[in-house]
Amino acid sequence: MPALDDILLQKLQLLEARQLKRSLRETGSSGGVMVTRSSKTLISFSGNDYLGLSQHPDVVAAAKSALDQYGAGAGASRLVTGNHPLYAQLEAALASYKTTQAACVFGSGYLANLGTIPALVGAGDLIVADKFIHACMIDAARLSGATVMRFAHNNLEHCRMLLTSARPEHHHCLILTETVFSMDGDRAPLSELATIAKEFDAWLMTDDAHGFGVLTEKHHADIYMGTLSKAAGSYGGYVCGSQTLCDYLKTAARSLIYDTALPPATVAASLAAVKIIVTQPELVKKPLQNAQYFTSLLGIKEAESAIVPLILKETDKALQASAYLEEKGFLVAAIRPPTVPENTARLRFAFSAIHEKSQIEAVAAIIKEQKWLES
pTM of the model as a whole: 0.93
Average pLDDT over residues 311-328: 95
pLDDT at 68: 97
Domain 23-50+306-374 grouped into CATH 3.90.1150.10: yes
CATH class of the structural domain 55-279: alpha beta
Question: Where do the H-state alpha helices sit in the chain?
Answer: 4-17, 57-70, 86-97, 109-120, 135-144, 156-166, 190-199, 243-252, 254-257, 264-279, 281-298, 315-327, 357-370
Least confident of 18-32, 87-101, 143-157, 276-290: 18-32
Average pLDDT over residues 93-116: 97
Average pLDDT over residues 27-55: 91
Element (H, E) at 331: strand 330-331
pLDDT at 375: 62
For residue 365, pLDDT over 80 is answered with yes
pLDDT at 25: 86
The SS3 assignment for 54 reads helix
Start-to-end CA distance of the chain, whole Å, equals 47
Average pLDDT over residues 315-338: 95
Contact yes or no for 78/87 (Cβ under 8 A): yes
Taking each continuous run of H as one helix and of E as one strand, the counts in the chain are 13, 14
Residue spans in the chain of domains classed CATH 3.90.1150.10: 23-50+306-374
Which residues are catalytically annotated? Answer: 48, 134, 178, 182, 207, 210, 230
For residue 350, pLDDT over 90 is answered with yes
For residue 374, pLDDT over 90 is answered with no
152-183 pLDDT tens trace: 999 999 999 999 999 999 999 999 999 999 99
The Cα–Cα gap between 186 and 308 comes to 9
256-270 pLDDT tens trace: 999 999 999 999 999
231-260 pLDDT tens trace: 999 999 999 999 999 999 999 999 999 999
Find, among 183, 211, 179, 350, the residue nearest to 277 by Cα: 211
Beta bridge partners, 173, equal 126
For residue 5, pLDDT over 80 is answered with yes
Percent of the chain with pLDDT over 70: 99
Residue spans in the chain of domains classed CATH 3.40.640.10: 55-279
